[in-house]
Structure 1
């Protein structure tokens, strides 16, 4: 885990190299119907759009809690392959896909106060790799 300066300020960053097309990984990150496949803390999603855009709203059900928590996607940068959201009106993780030779790197940007969420993000990275590597 590293500390990085992001467009949203300093964040803890967790990532994983993936031997997959960056666009395929980006598509998995942006498809709300697929979030429960890789988001280990999410069991269900209801969203205003299946494929996120800035302003997409909805709610996610949290594993082990059963409660629905509202969310809003606050930024989407398709060119940089990066999106962020607020969960329960609190700035949450950023998600991005960095291109690299032979594939890409999936990255989660974690607010400083949420450092305890890093293991969940590491598990999500593993799940995304399993879904997208050939």
Structure 2
């Protein structure tokens, strides 16, 4: 089940794009914090160089997107939620909710003015579902 809604987050009201997957929350979380997996599910990230293989608060590095390398810094990384800044600007928050019995919800939290980024999040969720549930990722 995919959902797009306005929600309260630790960063205030945000646009939340989420999808329920049939995998344990720990597996989904591992995909989100393992920088080597970002190019496998992100429709925009083609490469990553980071100070940490698994992100934590204050991990820094850069991501390769079509045409450029962009610097990033992880601003928070707590129990199944992380946020970052890309080129100094707040970017999407990433969260995994444990729904029990090998089910979880992956959510991307966007600023309310970030509606143009919703299609990118939807593609990333499709790719995560395919990656984690054993299918093929969607062509990028």
What TM-score range do you get, normalising by the shorter chain?
over 0.9
Alignment of 1:28-107 (within 5 A): 28-63=31-66, 66-78=67-79, 81-102=80-101, 103-107=103-107
Pairs aligned (count): 130
Q: Which moved more, 1:32-41 or 1:96-105?
A: 96-105
The CA deviation at 1:101 is 3.7
TM-score normalised by L of structure 1: 0.94
Q: Secondary structure at the match of 1:51?
A: coil
Q: 1:3-26, CA deviations, whole angstroms, 9 ceiling, x for partnerless residues?
A: 011001111000111000100000
Residue equivalent to 1:119: 119
Structure 1 unaligned residues grouped into runs of 5+? none
Tell me the secondary structure at the aligned position of residue 50 of structure 1. Answer: coil
The runs of 5 or more residues in structure 2 that have no matched partner are 135-140
Q: CA RMSD in A?
A: 1.0
Query: SS of 2:92's equivalent?
Result: strand
Runs of 4+ residues deviating >6 angstroms: none
SS of the counterpart of 2:46? Answer: strand
